Amino acid sequence: EANMHTKIVAVVGCVPALLAGVAYVVQQREKPAAVVANAARLFANANAADVARVTIQQGEKKVEIAREGTAWVVASRDNFPALDDRVRELVRRVIDAEVVEEKTSNPELYARLGVEDATQAGAKGTLVTLAKADGGKIAGLIVGNRQEAANWDSDKAATFVRPADGNKSYLVRSTFNAGLEPVDWMKREVLAFGSDRFWKVSVSHPGGENVSIERATPTAEPSLTTQPDAAPAAPAAPEP
């Protein structure tokens, strides 16, 4: 009986220590990695006005966008007009990205966050590079996985990233629309004119045939004003 009492006391005495250990483990798991008290920009010295070229790359996929005056063009597609607002938004989000937490500096863990070398085949991240007109680099950011909460709560939108020339990765308070296809950036509607702006349309064929359609007023129905030349008659069939 004495031995049983001793065993009970020993077990009871271990409970507080066991609970303390469990609490410590839980606290460590819930503890964020190096939370930044005052959110700081990753590229604090960068200025959007200096950006004249944007390169987006993942493995062999690459899109190059350049600024011409105040407009943007898809340089990798013969300077086709680009969606200015979308380009400016990406530039702003890269430059204004604020750090929420510091993450790993271990290259072996980069792939978990999607921030491994984005120029390598099979990479999941996307490298966004901002440069000046003379090619001087302003910022380079590997955009990795989005934080899950960002998919349903815009206030918690965040993305894992890593500066292209750095080892440390971060969680930043932002998301990035960095399409990897030229068509993602091309302005589909280069010229847009309402039908009320046209009163007359003429079509000239290489063979000399001309056709015109016009209307008397902007609200009138268009009518054919120039009849096309009649088609030549088919040759008569030879007599048997």
**pLDDT tens digits for range 7-62:** 444 444 444 554 454 444 334 333 444 544 456 899 999 999 999 999 999 999 99
Of the ranges 18-22, 145-149, 198-202, 208-212, the best mean pLDDT one = 145-149
What pTM value is reported for the model? 0.65
Query: Tokens at residue 170, please?
Result: 């971060």
pLDDT at position 92: 96
Of the listed ranges 74-78, 152-156, 219-223, the one predicted with least confidence: 152-156
Q: Which residue has the higher pLDDT, 233 or 64?
A: 64
Q: Average pLDDT, stretch 205-227?
A: 75
Q: Which residue has the higher pLDDT, 54 or 194?
A: 54
Query: Tokens at residue 95, please?
Result: 């430059």
Contact (CB, 8 A) for 99 and 39: yes
Q: Which is nearest to 157 in space by CA: 177, 139, 141?
A: 177
Helix (H) or strand (E) holding 44: none
Burial (0-12, 13-18, 19+ Cβ within 10 Å), 44: exposed
Residue 191 has pLDDT above 80, yes or no: no
Burial (0-12, 13-18, 19+ Cβ within 10 Å), 168: middle
Whole-number Å distance between alpha carbons of 131 and 139: 7
Give strand pairing partners of 186. Answer: 82
